[in-house]
Amino acid sequence: MSYLETTKNVYKEAAENPQVGLCCTTTPVWQLPGLSIPKKMLAMNYGCGSTVNTRDLVNNPTVLYVGVGGGMELLQFAYFSRKTGGVTGVDIIDEMLKACKENIVEAEKQNPWFRAEFVKLVKGDALHLPINDNSIDIAAQNCLFNIFKQDDLKKALQEMYRVLKPNGRLVLSDPTCEQYIPEHLREDDHLRALCLSGSLPL
């Protein structure tokens, strides 16, 4: 089994049975006026840090977020891009897309300003994004790319640059480490899937 298959299995399980704190750290929950985050969406927050920054999100941007998790950052992005299809979430795992969609529907009930059609969920692979060239203002990923081994990481980054408009912005949130992680840990597929052993040294 490849490390990517191991990763899919880890996150399929995490979609069906939410696991608080699955990844290395937690993502801050920004307190924005009128924003309410459903409990399950919060429990399925499998990122580290945050890719949502108000300085980036001006002029109603078109946003791509790769690796949807429970949908929390999709909802946060939609707060700044309130238009049909303004935020696209891409994920390879059917179960995660299903759970995320359910959370988005619940978020619509809790947030008078939010409509589910602000977020478009698409099945796809970070290494072959189903997104048009030069179509995205903000391309973001949280605690996904450090899972990839070097050749796949290069492909994932190339795909993000392909879909970005000229002067678009790439936003990454991944754990880093102070020293190079030993090879036997880097080759542990489960630790890599948990966004740990693939971390790059600063």
Residue-wise pLDDT tens digits, 65-91: 999 999 999 999 999 999 999 999 999
Q: Answer for the pair 133, 161: CB distance below 8 angstroms, yes or no.
A: no
- 14-23, 129-138, 168-177 — which is least confidently predicted? 14-23
Q: What is the pLDDT of residue 56?
A: 86
Residue-wise pLDDT tens digits, 93-137: 999 999 999 999 999 999 999 999 999 999 999 999 999 999 999
Domain map of the chain by residue range? 3-172
Share in percent of the chain as helix, strand, coil (round to 5): 35, 20, 45
Q: Which superfamily does 3-172 belong to?
A: Vaccinia Virus protein VP39 (3.40.50.150)
Q: What is the pLDDT of residue 193?
A: 87
**Model-level pTM?**
0.92
